[in-house]
Amino acid sequence: DQIQSILPIRGDGLRCSAAESEATFVEFLSGEYLRIDLPFGEVLERLCECGKIYEDDRTEDEILRFTPAELKELGEAFDAGYYFMAKDKDGKVFAYKEEPIRRGAYWNSRLNDAAGNIRLNEPYEDVQWDLPLPICLDNIAEIARRKKFDTL
């Protein structure tokens, strides 16, 4: 099962800083939880060592951020069967059923039918057209569901 988040917790189950933690609380995408009676840093180190997670060495500027409206739209696209997104050089953003390929300044669906992609309406300011790969919507759609942006 894929990991959604890892948070340090004290013995009483309260979240705390990693320095204070006596145990680590792991949440899986399935919604299940696991308590590991090891300090947070040690759990992260061991998971990195065995290749289950990787250290995130991105800078703050490299992390994508989405507005609530963008998350809502991406969650709806995912639920409709569109699993990837990408932005063309002209700023148009599309969701794709199959992983698209980039041809020059544009991303193109690998499917030959017109239903292989849909145009998204939100601006997605944080998404750049020149990303090396399209963005997979799996985790983004799960985050949208958990934050319950259905009231927007």
Q: Mean pLDDT by 10-residue block, N- to C-terminus, for the chain (152 residues)? A: 62 61 72 79 77 57 74 89 92 92 87 81 89 81 57 38
**Closest to 2 (Cα-Cα) out of 148, 142, 145:** 142
pTM beyond cutoff 0.75: no
Looking at residue 149, its pLDDT comes to 45
Looking at residue 38, its pLDDT comes to 82
Looking at residue 151, its pLDDT comes to 39
pLDDT in tens, 93-122: 999 998 888 888 999 887 766 678 999 999
Looking at residue 150, its pLDDT comes to 43
Looking at residue 87, its pLDDT comes to 94
Looking at residue 117, its pLDDT comes to 92
Looking at residue 130, its pLDDT comes to 83
- DSSP letter, residue 149: G
Quick one: angle between helices 138-147 and 68-79, nearest 10? 120
| Residues 26, 69: Cα–Cα separation, whole Å | 28
| Residues 112, 124: Cα–Cα separation, whole Å | 26
Looking at residue 124, its pLDDT comes to 92
Residue 33 in 3-state DSSP?
Answer: strand
Looking at residue 119, its pLDDT comes to 95
